[in-house]
Amino acid sequence: MRLNRSWLFVPGDSERKLAKGQDNPADALILDLEDAVSDDRQEIAREMTRDFLKAHPDRSRQELWVRINPLDTPLSLPDLVAVMPGAPNGIVLPKVYSAADVNTLATMLSALETREGLELGSTRILCVATETAQSLLTFHTYLDNVSERLTALTWGGEDLAAALGASTNRHPDTGDYDTPFQLAKTLCLTTARAIDAQPVGVVYVDFRDLEGLEAECRRDRRSGFIGKIAIHPAQSEVINRAFTPTEEEVTHAKRVIAAFEDNPGLGTVGLDGKMLDMPHLKQARNLMALVAQFGG
Protein backbone atom coordinates (compact mmCIF):
# COMPACT_ATOMS: atom_id res chain seq x y z
CA MET A 1 0.00 0.00 0.00
CA ARG A 2 1.38 3.40 -0.94
CA LEU A 3 1.72 5.85 1.95
CA ASN A 4 1.73 9.62 1.63
CA ARG A 5 3.54 11.86 4.12
CA SER A 6 2.12 15.26 3.19
CA TRP A 7 -1.44 15.72 1.91
CA LEU A 8 -1.93 19.34 0.77
CA PHE A 9 -5.45 20.75 0.51
CA VAL A 10 -5.91 22.93 -2.56
CA PRO A 11 -9.21 24.75 -3.21
CA GLY A 12 -10.66 23.11 -6.32
CA ASP A 13 -11.77 26.40 -7.83
CA SER A 14 -8.44 28.26 -7.75
CA GLU A 15 -6.36 28.01 -10.90
CA ARG A 16 -3.50 29.79 -9.19
CA LYS A 17 -3.39 27.45 -6.19
CA LEU A 18 -3.81 24.35 -8.34
CA ALA A 19 -0.76 25.41 -10.35
CA LYS A 20 1.12 26.11 -7.14
CA GLY A 21 0.16 22.71 -5.72
CA GLN A 22 1.57 20.86 -8.70
CA ASP A 23 5.03 22.35 -8.05
CA ASN A 24 4.82 21.62 -4.33
CA PRO A 25 6.70 18.70 -2.71
CA ALA A 26 3.47 17.32 -1.20
CA ASP A 27 3.16 13.55 -1.75
CA ALA A 28 -0.55 14.07 -2.43
CA LEU A 29 -2.83 16.98 -3.23
CA ILE A 30 -6.41 17.00 -1.98
CA LEU A 31 -8.40 19.02 -4.49
CA ASP A 32 -11.20 20.40 -2.37
CA LEU A 33 -14.81 20.64 -3.46
CA GLU A 34 -16.14 21.05 0.09
CA ASP A 35 -15.44 23.80 2.61
CA ALA A 36 -12.87 25.71 0.55
CA VAL A 37 -15.47 26.25 -2.19
CA SER A 38 -18.43 28.61 -1.89
CA ASP A 39 -21.80 27.28 -3.03
CA ASP A 40 -22.03 29.54 -6.05
CA ARG A 41 -18.68 28.26 -7.34
CA GLN A 42 -19.42 24.55 -6.95
CA GLU A 43 -19.92 23.87 -10.66
CA ILE A 44 -16.79 25.82 -11.62
CA ALA A 45 -14.80 23.92 -9.01
CA ARG A 46 -16.00 20.55 -10.32
CA GLU A 47 -14.98 21.39 -13.89
CA MET A 48 -11.64 22.89 -12.90
CA THR A 49 -10.86 19.88 -10.71
CA ARG A 50 -11.76 17.38 -13.43
CA ASP A 51 -9.66 19.30 -15.98
CA PHE A 52 -6.71 19.37 -13.59
CA LEU A 53 -6.97 15.62 -12.99
CA LYS A 54 -7.13 14.90 -16.70
CA ALA A 55 -4.16 17.17 -17.39
CA HIS A 56 -2.05 15.28 -14.80
CA PRO A 57 -2.32 11.54 -15.47
CA ASP A 58 1.18 10.77 -14.16
CA ARG A 59 0.82 10.37 -10.40
CA SER A 60 4.14 8.70 -9.66
CA ARG A 61 5.52 11.66 -7.70
CA GLN A 62 2.30 13.21 -6.47
CA GLU A 63 -1.08 11.58 -6.05
CA LEU A 64 -4.26 13.55 -6.74
CA TRP A 65 -7.20 13.04 -4.39
CA VAL A 66 -10.51 14.91 -4.27
CA ARG A 67 -12.53 15.88 -1.21
CA ILE A 68 -16.20 15.70 -2.06
CA ASN A 69 -19.10 17.13 -0.09
CA PRO A 70 -20.66 15.00 2.67
CA LEU A 71 -22.90 12.13 1.58
CA ASP A 72 -25.93 13.61 3.36
CA THR A 73 -25.89 16.64 1.04
CA PRO A 74 -27.18 16.66 -2.55
CA LEU A 75 -23.75 17.86 -3.68
CA SER A 76 -21.77 14.69 -3.14
CA LEU A 77 -23.02 12.56 -6.04
CA PRO A 78 -22.65 15.31 -8.67
CA ASP A 79 -19.15 15.97 -7.25
CA LEU A 80 -18.21 12.33 -7.86
CA VAL A 81 -19.81 12.10 -11.27
CA ALA A 82 -17.90 15.22 -12.31
CA VAL A 83 -14.44 14.14 -11.15
CA MET A 84 -14.31 10.40 -11.83
CA PRO A 85 -13.48 10.88 -15.54
CA GLY A 86 -10.18 12.31 -14.24
CA ALA A 87 -9.39 9.07 -12.36
CA PRO A 88 -8.43 10.54 -8.98
CA ASN A 89 -6.20 8.29 -6.84
CA GLY A 90 -8.70 8.57 -4.07
CA ILE A 91 -11.67 10.36 -2.55
CA VAL A 92 -11.59 12.16 0.80
CA LEU A 93 -14.90 11.68 2.57
CA PRO A 94 -15.81 14.32 5.19
CA LYS A 95 -18.35 14.29 8.01
CA VAL A 96 -18.91 10.54 8.25
CA TYR A 97 -21.28 9.03 10.80
CA SER A 98 -19.98 5.45 10.63
CA ALA A 99 -18.30 2.93 8.34
CA ALA A 100 -21.63 2.58 6.52
CA ASP A 101 -20.87 5.91 4.81
CA VAL A 102 -17.55 4.59 3.57
CA ASN A 103 -19.28 1.52 2.16
CA THR A 104 -21.93 3.66 0.46
CA LEU A 105 -19.20 5.68 -1.20
CA ALA A 106 -17.42 2.46 -2.19
CA THR A 107 -20.54 1.29 -4.04
CA MET A 108 -20.88 4.58 -5.88
CA LEU A 109 -17.22 4.34 -6.88
CA SER A 110 -17.70 0.84 -8.28
CA ALA A 111 -20.49 2.13 -10.52
CA LEU A 112 -18.51 5.13 -11.70
CA GLU A 113 -15.28 3.18 -12.23
CA THR A 114 -17.23 0.78 -14.44
CA ARG A 115 -18.71 3.66 -16.43
CA GLU A 116 -15.31 5.30 -16.90
CA GLY A 117 -13.52 2.07 -17.78
CA LEU A 118 -11.27 2.30 -14.72
CA GLU A 119 -9.97 -0.70 -12.85
CA LEU A 120 -12.61 -1.82 -10.37
CA GLY A 121 -11.55 -1.00 -6.82
CA SER A 122 -8.69 1.29 -7.87
CA THR A 123 -10.05 4.48 -6.28
CA ARG A 124 -9.07 4.61 -2.61
CA ILE A 125 -10.82 6.37 0.28
CA LEU A 126 -9.47 8.52 3.09
CA CYS A 127 -12.16 9.41 5.60
CA VAL A 128 -12.17 12.33 7.99
CA ALA A 129 -13.37 10.12 10.76
CA THR A 130 -14.32 12.49 13.61
CA GLU A 131 -16.41 15.39 12.35
CA THR A 132 -19.81 14.40 13.76
CA ALA A 133 -20.88 13.57 17.32
CA GLN A 134 -22.09 10.15 16.12
CA SER A 135 -18.70 9.33 14.66
CA LEU A 136 -17.09 9.07 18.09
CA LEU A 137 -19.57 6.37 19.06
CA THR A 138 -19.37 4.22 15.90
CA PHE A 139 -15.68 3.46 15.45
CA HIS A 140 -16.37 -0.22 16.15
CA THR A 141 -18.26 -0.39 12.82
CA TYR A 142 -14.96 -0.12 10.95
CA LEU A 143 -13.90 -3.49 12.34
CA ASP A 144 -16.78 -5.18 10.60
CA ASN A 145 -16.56 -5.43 6.82
CA VAL A 146 -15.45 -1.97 5.86
CA SER A 147 -14.53 -1.56 2.18
CA GLU A 148 -10.90 -2.32 1.32
CA ARG A 149 -10.85 0.98 -0.52
CA LEU A 150 -10.48 2.63 2.89
CA THR A 151 -6.70 2.96 3.11
CA ALA A 152 -6.37 6.01 5.37
CA LEU A 153 -8.16 7.77 8.20
CA THR A 154 -7.63 11.24 9.58
CA TRP A 155 -9.46 13.25 12.19
CA GLY A 156 -10.60 16.83 12.63
CA GLY A 157 -11.09 19.09 15.61
CA GLU A 158 -12.86 22.04 14.02
CA ASP A 159 -16.15 20.54 12.82
CA LEU A 160 -16.18 18.27 15.85
CA ALA A 161 -16.12 21.31 18.15
CA ALA A 162 -19.22 22.65 16.41
CA ALA A 163 -20.88 19.22 16.57
CA LEU A 164 -20.22 18.93 20.30
CA GLY A 165 -21.34 22.49 21.09
CA ALA A 166 -17.83 23.43 22.24
CA SER A 167 -16.74 27.06 21.93
CA THR A 168 -13.11 25.91 21.62
CA ASN A 169 -11.29 22.62 21.13
CA ARG A 170 -8.34 23.72 23.29
CA HIS A 171 -7.70 23.39 26.99
CA PRO A 172 -7.52 26.92 28.46
CA ASP A 173 -4.35 26.28 30.53
CA THR A 174 -2.18 24.09 28.31
CA GLY A 175 -3.36 25.09 24.83
CA ASP A 176 -3.40 21.37 23.94
CA TYR A 177 -6.48 19.69 22.52
CA ASP A 178 -9.10 19.21 25.24
CA THR A 179 -10.24 15.73 26.27
CA PRO A 180 -13.01 15.06 23.67
CA PHE A 181 -10.57 15.93 20.89
CA GLN A 182 -7.82 13.77 22.32
CA LEU A 183 -10.34 10.96 22.41
CA ALA A 184 -11.08 11.59 18.73
CA LYS A 185 -7.37 11.47 17.94
CA THR A 186 -6.88 8.25 19.89
CA LEU A 187 -9.89 6.53 18.31
CA CYS A 188 -8.75 7.53 14.83
CA LEU A 189 -5.24 6.19 15.41
CA THR A 190 -6.41 2.97 17.03
CA THR A 191 -9.03 2.22 14.40
CA ALA A 192 -6.68 2.92 11.52
CA ARG A 193 -4.08 0.55 12.98
CA ALA A 194 -6.72 -2.07 13.73
CA ILE A 195 -7.77 -2.23 10.08
CA ASP A 196 -4.28 -1.77 8.64
CA ALA A 197 -5.02 1.68 7.21
CA GLN A 198 -2.73 4.72 7.37
CA PRO A 199 -3.45 7.00 10.35
CA VAL A 200 -2.92 10.57 9.08
CA GLY A 201 -2.27 13.43 11.52
CA VAL A 202 -4.70 16.30 11.83
CA VAL A 203 -4.27 19.64 10.03
CA TYR A 204 -2.20 22.26 11.86
CA VAL A 205 -4.22 25.41 11.32
CA ASP A 206 -1.65 28.04 12.37
CA PHE A 207 0.10 27.83 9.00
CA ARG A 208 2.67 30.54 9.68
CA ASP A 209 4.08 28.64 12.69
CA LEU A 210 6.35 26.07 11.03
CA GLU A 211 8.21 25.28 14.26
CA GLY A 212 4.95 24.47 15.99
CA LEU A 213 4.02 22.30 13.01
CA GLU A 214 7.30 20.43 13.20
CA ALA A 215 6.84 19.79 16.94
CA GLU A 216 3.34 18.48 16.34
CA CYS A 217 4.57 16.23 13.50
CA ARG A 218 7.11 14.69 15.89
CA ARG A 219 4.45 14.18 18.53
CA ASP A 220 2.11 12.61 15.94
CA ARG A 221 4.86 10.33 14.71
CA ARG A 222 5.73 9.18 18.23
CA SER A 223 2.07 8.27 18.77
CA GLY A 224 1.94 6.18 15.59
CA PHE A 225 0.58 8.52 12.93
CA ILE A 226 2.12 8.55 9.46
CA GLY A 227 1.97 11.84 7.62
CA LYS A 228 -0.16 14.91 8.10
CA ILE A 229 -2.70 17.05 6.31
CA ALA A 230 -1.39 20.45 5.09
CA ILE A 231 -3.35 23.56 4.19
CA HIS A 232 -0.50 25.81 3.07
CA PRO A 233 2.31 25.03 0.60
CA ALA A 234 5.03 25.85 3.14
CA GLN A 235 3.87 23.03 5.40
CA SER A 236 4.61 20.12 3.02
CA GLU A 237 8.39 20.23 3.28
CA VAL A 238 8.27 20.30 7.08
CA ILE A 239 5.90 17.34 7.13
CA ASN A 240 7.96 15.33 4.62
CA ARG A 241 11.09 15.84 6.68
CA ALA A 242 9.43 14.94 9.97
CA PHE A 243 8.00 11.68 8.62
CA THR A 244 11.12 10.51 6.78
CA PRO A 245 13.11 8.10 8.97
CA THR A 246 16.49 9.44 10.12
CA GLU A 247 19.75 7.61 9.44
CA GLU A 248 20.00 6.72 13.12
CA GLU A 249 16.52 5.22 13.14
CA VAL A 250 17.24 3.19 10.01
CA THR A 251 20.51 1.84 11.40
CA HIS A 252 18.80 0.81 14.61
CA ALA A 253 15.87 -0.84 12.82
CA LYS A 254 18.25 -2.85 10.63
CA ARG A 255 20.16 -4.04 13.68
CA VAL A 256 16.93 -5.10 15.40
CA ILE A 257 15.83 -7.10 12.35
CA ALA A 258 19.30 -8.65 12.03
CA ALA A 259 19.29 -9.63 15.71
CA PHE A 260 16.13 -11.68 15.16
CA GLU A 261 17.34 -13.13 11.86
CA ASP A 262 20.56 -14.28 13.51
CA ASN A 263 18.56 -16.10 16.17
CA PRO A 264 15.84 -17.96 14.29
CA GLY A 265 13.20 -19.46 16.53
CA LEU A 266 13.87 -17.05 19.39
CA GLY A 267 11.07 -14.68 20.45
CA THR A 268 13.35 -12.60 22.65
CA VAL A 269 16.89 -11.46 21.92
CA GLY A 270 19.37 -9.05 23.51
CA LEU A 271 20.84 -5.99 21.78
CA ASP A 272 23.15 -3.46 23.48
CA GLY A 273 22.15 -4.84 26.88
CA LYS A 274 18.42 -4.43 26.22
CA MET A 275 15.76 -7.05 25.77
CA LEU A 276 13.98 -7.06 22.40
CA ASP A 277 10.81 -8.97 21.65
CA MET A 278 8.12 -9.09 18.99
CA PRO A 279 6.79 -5.52 19.39
CA HIS A 280 10.31 -4.19 18.72
CA LEU A 281 10.58 -6.32 15.60
CA LYS A 282 7.21 -5.05 14.42
CA GLN A 283 8.28 -1.44 14.98
CA ALA A 284 11.51 -2.02 13.09
CA ARG A 285 9.57 -3.50 10.18
CA ASN A 286 7.12 -0.57 10.22
CA LEU A 287 10.05 1.78 9.97
CA MET A 288 11.61 -0.13 7.08
CA ALA A 289 8.26 0.04 5.27
CA LEU A 290 8.55 3.84 5.49
CA VAL A 291 12.14 3.69 4.23
CA ALA A 292 11.11 1.53 1.28
CA GLN A 293 8.90 4.33 0.11
CA PHE A 294 10.51 7.56 1.23
CA GLY A 295 14.16 6.66 1.65
CA GLY A 296 15.81 7.54 4.92
Chain residues in the site for ligand COA (CB under 6 A): 8-11, 16-17, 20-21, 32, 35-36, 203, 231-233
One-letter amino acid for residue 200 of the chain: V
Q: CA-based diameter of the chain, in Å?
A: 65
Provide the minimum distance between the beta carbon of 52 and ligand COA in the complex, in angstroms, as a whole number.
Answer: 12
Least distance in Å: CB of 199 to ligand COA? 18
Supply the minimum distance, in Å, between the C-beta of residue 35 and ligand COA: 5
Return d(Cα 85, Cα 203) in angstroms, integer: 29
Closer of 35 and 178 to ligand COA (Cβ):
35
- Coil, strand or helix at 10: strand
- Looking at the Cβ atoms of 4 and 141, the one nearer to ligand COA is 4
- Which CB atom, from 11 or from 180, has the smaller least distance to ligand COA? 11
Least CB distance to ligand COA at residue 187 (A) = 20
| Share in percent of the chain as helix, strand, coil (round to 5) | 50, 15, 35
- Minimum gap (Å) between residue 94 Cβ and ligand COA: 9
Measured at the alpha carbon of residue 231, what is the angle toward residues 229 and 233, in degrees to the nearest 5?
105
CA 47 from centre of chain:
24
Q: Is 23 or 173 the residue whose CB approaches ligand COA more closely?
A: 23
Give the Cα separation of 127 and 156 in Å (integer). Answer: 10
Q: Smallest gap, in angstroms, from Cβ of residue 296 to ligand COA?
A: 27
Q: Which is nearer to ligand COA, 3 or 30 (CB)?
A: 30
Question: With contact defined as beta carbons under 8 Å apart, do 108 and 75 qualify?
Answer: no
What HEC string does 33-94 produce?
CCCCCCHHHHHHHHHHHHHHHHHCCCCCCCEEEEECCCCCCCCHHHHHHHHHHHCCCEEEEC
Nearer to ligand COA, 9 or 260 (CB): 9
